[in-house]
Amino acid sequence: MTVTEFFADGYKNLKDVNISPSPGVNIFYGENAQGKTNLIEAIWILSGAKSFRGTKERDAVAFDRDLARLNLSLEDSEREQKIEAVLTKNPREKKILLNGIKQRSLTSLFGVLKCVVFTPEDLELSKGSPDIRRDFIDLCVSQIKPRYQKTVQKYETVLAQRNALLKNIAIGISNQNDLDVWDDQMAKLGAYISVIKHRYTEKLSVFAGKLYYEISSGKEALRLEYFSTVYPNLSGRTDWQNELYLEYLNILKKSRADDIRAGFTTVGIHRDDVIVTVNGKIARDFGSQGQNRSAALSMKLAQAYILNEETGEMPVILLDDVLSELDKTRREFIISKLEGMQIFITCCETVKKLRGKRFRVEGGNVGKKAEKEKG
């Protein structure tokens, strides 16, 4: 899949950006704080995912403007598609169109523009806290199954309601039996999500394992395993509507007293993790900096490969400032593994030796305009 045209105006500091990217490598270079990451972020949010910097939609509108306009044309294996977004400070006034048809939100665009973004924070994927890995797997699955996103949101709502109730029970204004209805919903959603995430992690382990084997020149083995706080072993188990649901329900009942004491739900998918091991040792605790970086890169590359395998489309790759963070071996590895995909790269100085279409970014202007303003 390739982005053929991209327009942005009023998105953070971006001004009247109008580019026709190459189907290969595109390099955005310039000084700090000129808008390189803003450009990557603007493309990324059109994929339907949340900003990787945590920017809320209304904060994405330029300080001195009322709205931000983003247009993107893409070509996938079947057709050309056009995404148009007008983001406003008042979220009710925003407008999102896909091929001219009105959409409810940016999230409704999930699955149209398939993107994988690499940021310096992603290099913490194996070393960071469990929530980073939980969110990562949720995102990977949502890109393949756009409806999965809604299931996770529903689970989060149920979790918040159950936690509020636990607190009310502790202070004596609610009854323990009131938990039954939330436990039931939680078990249904939780059992399904566990199965999906476990299955995805198995696949990720295979793909990332192969990549890691290569990057370590066959010396080390990477494995990923889904760690469930509910089920001792999920291998080969898929019956989320019956057995797995009942087991989940049972665990919630068992942990009720603990949960009331703690004031929150102590078990469930919101406490699960993905365990990353190198040669059988947990990378987070025992891995070197280099091993963790290779593990993170392998996991991100695997995300792109699986997305391609599952959807038949090569994702568009966004590399924000990662190349400068990596040593030569890892830099060359990642670029070689992304061959054939459209890539958007940002960097401070033009990364030498890298071939591609170059765009200068200065003061929110990109390409020819930035060159002209430079004089």
Ligand X SMILES: Nc1ncnc2c1ncn2[C@@H]1O[C@H](COP(=O)(O)OP(=O)(O)OP(=O)(O)O)[C@@H](O)[C@H]1O
Would you give the binding string for ligand X spanning residues 306-345, x where CB under 6 A is met?
A: ---------------x------------------------
- In the complex with Mg ion, the residue whose CB is nearer, 36 or 293, is 36
- In the complex with Mg ion, the residue whose CB is nearer, 175 or 324, is 324
Q: Which of 34, 37, 126, 265 binds Mg ion (CB under 5 A)?
A: 37
Q: Which of 15, 19, 34, 342 binds ligand X (CB under 6 A)?
A: 34
Rounded Cα–Cα distance for residues 112 and 339 (Å): 22
Handedness of CA 265, 273, 53, 44 (dihedral sign): negative
Torsion angles phi and psi, residue 345, rounded to 5: -120, 135
Cβ of residue 152: shortest distance to Mg ion, in angstroms? 28
Would you give the binding string for ligand X spanning residues 99-138, x where CB under 6 A is met?
A: ----------------------------------------
Residue 12 sits in the site that holds ligand X (CB under 6 A): yes
- In the complex with ligand X, the residue whose CB is nearer, 35 or 268, is 35
The interface partner of residue 181, options being ligand X, Mg ion, none and the CB cut-off 5 to 8 Å by kind, is none
- In the complex with Mg ion, the residue whose CB is nearer, 36 or 114, is 36
Residue 181 sits in the site that holds ligand X (CB under 6 A): no
Residue 63 sits in the site that holds ligand X (CB under 6 A): yes
Residue 348 sits in the site that holds ligand X (CB under 6 A): yes
Q: Which stretch binds ligand X (CB under 6 A): 36-44, 206-214, 248-256, 329-337?
A: 36-44
Residue 13 sits in the site that holds ligand X (CB under 6 A): yes
Residue 201 sits in the site that holds ligand X (CB under 6 A): no
User: Can you give the chain as a three-state secondary structure string?
Assistant: CEEEEEEEECECCCCCEEECCCCCEEEEECCCCCCHHHHHHHHHHCCCCCCCCCCCHHHHECCCCCEEEEEEEEECCCCEEEEEEEEECCHHHCEEEECCEEECCHHHHCCCCCEEEECHHHHHCCCCCHHHHHHHHHHHHHHHCCCHHHHHHHHHHHHHHHHHHHHHHHCCCCCHHHHHHHHHHHHHHHHHHHHHHHHHHHHHHHHHHHHHHHHCCCCCCEEEEEECCCCCCCCCCCCCCCHHHHHHHHHHHHCHHHHHHHCCCCCCHHHCEEEEEECCEEHHHHCCHHHHHHHHHHHHHHHHHHHHHHHCCCCEEEEECCHHHCCHHHHHHHHHHCCCCCEEEEECCCCCCCCCEEEEEECCEECHHHHHHHC
The interface partner of residue 35, options being Mg ion, ligand X, none and the CB cut-off 5 to 8 Å by kind, is ligand X
- In the complex with Mg ion, the residue whose CB is nearer, 30 or 287, is 30
Residue 35 sits in the site that holds ligand X (CB under 6 A): yes
Rounded Cα–Cα distance for residues 14 and 348 (Å): 17
Q: Which stretch binds Mg ion (CB under 5 A): 31-39, 230-238, 270-278, 322-330?
A: 31-39
Cβ of residue 346: shortest distance to Mg ion, in angstroms? 6
Q: Which of 37, 151, 216, 265 binds ligand X (CB under 6 A)?
A: 37
Question: Which residues in this chain contact ligand X in the complex, by CB under 6 A?
Answer: 12-13, 30, 32-38, 59, 62-63, 321, 348, 361
Question: Which residues in this chain contact Mg ion in the complex, by CB under 5 A?
Answer: 36-37
